[in-house]
Chains A and B, each alone.
Chain A
Amino acid sequence: MYDGGKIIAGIIIFLAFALFPFYSNIGKADIKPPKPSLDTPVIKALKVKKCVEPEQYMRESHMQLLIKWRDSALRHAKRVYVNSNGEEYVISLQKTCLRCHSNRSEFCDRCHKYADVDPYCWDCHFSKAKQEEQR
């Protein structure tokens, strides 16, 4: 091989980048996916434990529902949401979502941290933890 030293050096640099996800994760096979906690007083007191939409939909698309709610409440002043079963809910992050899911750090943050998502909900809305912090 001609200029073998330079070419091998280049290949090694390339491999260092290309294999980064593999060698940097050695010994981290025990990382478990997060389990958002439903352990809040309000949820415990519920007879039928269900969210405004089915679980699968909420897992996949809650952020789209939230933005839809924001537009509906703030831009169209419509505060009633009719879900896929025809049930009505008040459109309000504080009064509907966070009433049950009052445990932000065990519910919202667990998955958001895992998936490296940094939603800006909390720039305006208060979570209970933050409210207590501010007192």
Chain B
Amino acid sequence: MGALLSFGAVVVLLLIPAIGAGALKLHSLFGVVIPYLAVIVFLVGLINRVIGWGKVPVPFKIPTTCGQQKSLPWIKHSRLESPATGGEVFLRMVLEVLFFRSLFRNLRTEKAPGDRVVYGSSKWLWVAGLAFHYSFLIVFLRHLRFFKQPTPKIIGIIESFDGFLQIGSPHLLVTGLVLFGAVFYLFLRRIFVPQVRYISLPADYFPLFLIMAIAGTGMLMRYFLRVDIIKVKELTMGLATFHPKVPEGISVIFYIHLFLVSTLFAYFPFSKMVHLGGVFLSPTRNLANNTRMVHHPNPWNYPVKVHTYEEYEEEFRDKMIAAGIPVEKQPEPREEEQPTEESEGKE
């Protein structure tokens, strides 16, 4: 149900520019206004989310650990699984952000004969996750050729590696296919793994369909329904230099692709995809497990009114002495009291 709803939403998103830019010729709306708005929403929304997270107090140190905490010197400390210092946390974060280490632990849960629950290794989520994120990164970087003139050399080098198969003309770029394939796998996983299907919401399916549509229209435009790339770059360079212009004669498939990408940008800060920023601010990952060494003050503790022993003694010293209770700080020595104290001390 959630999948159908999301699929319908993406179909509507395909139709909006098809009608708006295709039939109604609203080229400056779909080529300039909407992309600018989407980028503004993306940047402001994402920064707003991150600052919002930054304002949330973390009352306890809550790193998720699965290794030996730093303890006595002869007990082997698991540095990555239970980091104790900032440096170890940094290493753990690097591995998480670049290699998705927590997905590597993904398990398959199945029922064995006799209603036993068994767990097995399942690395496909990790593999598809890596394939998806890295190919998306390369596809994203490759698009810099539309926003820089001349294009940085590194982009050309990336593209020549990406097209190393030299199939067809224009060259087949591997990352486009990998991106589509990996997203499609992530979608199939939600459909065919019952536990995952049970917890999947429209908000889980929608980004998958949206990215599939983006990759699909992108490849369609490169390999089948060609567009005039020089005019496209004229438009995109106009956006990058804040001198927008809309050349005539760009076919509607380009506006569809651009609208879907704008949707992704605008939707980003409000969706699960905001883990782009969130991964850095997860207290279960970015805190050190050093509670035995460093006191973690709860930031929302209000100032407690305390009455220390020193203040107590100051208040009641005379009475304490009168009652014969020992005091830490002796009262100002007076001539006649001196012998009494000495005798008390001897006792």
Seen from chain A, the residues whose Cβ lies within 8 Å of a Cβ on chain B are: 1-4, 7, 10-11, 14-15, 18-22, 24-26, 28-29, 31, 33-34, 56, 59-61, 63-64, 66-67, 111, 113-120
Provide the bound-state CA to CA distance between A19 and B44, in Å. Answer: 12
Q: Is the CB of B229 within 8 A of A11?
A: no
Q: In the complex, which residue of chain A has the Cβ closest to the Cβ of B47?
A: A11
Q: Is the CB of A120 within 8 A of B166?
A: yes
Taking the complex as formed, is B108 at the interface, i.e. its CB lies under 8 A from any CB of chain A? no
A13 to B: closest C-beta gap in Å: 10
Q: Is the CB of A60 within 8 A of B226?
A: yes
Q: How large is the interface on B (under 10, 10 to 19, 20 to 34, 35 or more residues)?
A: 35 or more
Q: Is the CB of B156 within 8 A of A118?
A: yes
Q: Sorted from nearest, which 8 A-B pairs have the closest CB atoms?
A: A21-B147, A67-B169, A116-B151, A60-B226, A29-B241, A116-B145, A29-B243, A1-B54
Q: Is the CB of A25 within 8 A of B148?
A: yes
Seen from chain B, the residues whose Cβ lies within 8 Å of a Cβ on chain A are: 43, 46-47, 50-51, 54-58, 144-145, 147-151, 155-156, 159-160, 166, 168-170, 226-231, 233-234, 237, 240-243, 247, 249, 251, 277, 280-281, 299
Q: Is the CB of A64 within 8 A of B43?
A: no
Q: In the complex, which residue of chain B has the Cβ closest to the Cβ of A67?
A: B169
Please name all residues of chain A whose beta carbon is closer than 8 Å to the beta carbon of B280 when the two chains form the complex: 10
Q: In the complex, which residue of chain B has the Cβ closest to the Cβ of A57?
A: B226
Provide the bound-state CA to CA distance between A116 and B343, in Å. Answer: 99
Q: Is the CB of A116 within 8 A of B155?
A: yes
Please name all residues of chain A whose beta carbon is closer than 8 Å to the beta carbon of B155 when the two chains form the complex: 116
Q: Is the CB of A21 within 8 A of B240?
A: yes
Provide the bound-state CA to CA distance between A41 and B280, in Å. Answer: 62
Please name all residues of chain A whose beta carbon is closer than 8 Å to the beta carbon of B230 when the two chains form the complex: 33-34, 59, 111, 114-115
Q: Given A1-B55, A115-B229 in contact, is the A25-B241 Cβ separation under 8 Å?
A: yes
B2 to A: closest C-beta gap in Å: 31
Which of A3, A18, A24, A118 contacts B54, CB < 8 Å? A3
Which of B43, B54, B151 contacts A2, CB < 8 Å? B54
Q: Is the CB of B51 within 8 A of A1?
A: yes
A38 to B: closest C-beta gap in Å: 15
B253 to A: closest C-beta gap in Å: 11
Q: In the complex, which residue of chain B has the Cβ closest to the Cβ of A115?
A: B229
A69 to B: closest C-beta gap in Å: 10
A17 to B: closest C-beta gap in Å: 10
Q: Is the CB of A116 within 8 A of B150?
A: yes
Q: Is the CB of A21 within 8 A of B229?
A: no
Q: What are 30 of the A-B contact pairs (CB < 8 Å)?
A: A2-B54, A2-B55, A2-B56, A2-B57, A7-B281, A10-B280, A11-B50, A14-B277, A21-B240, A22-B242, A25-B148, A29-B242, A29-B243, A31-B149, A31-B237, A33-B231, A56-B249, A60-B226, A60-B227, A60-B229, A60-B251, A66-B169, A67-B169, A111-B229, A114-B149, A114-B233, A115-B230, A116-B151, A116-B156, A116-B159
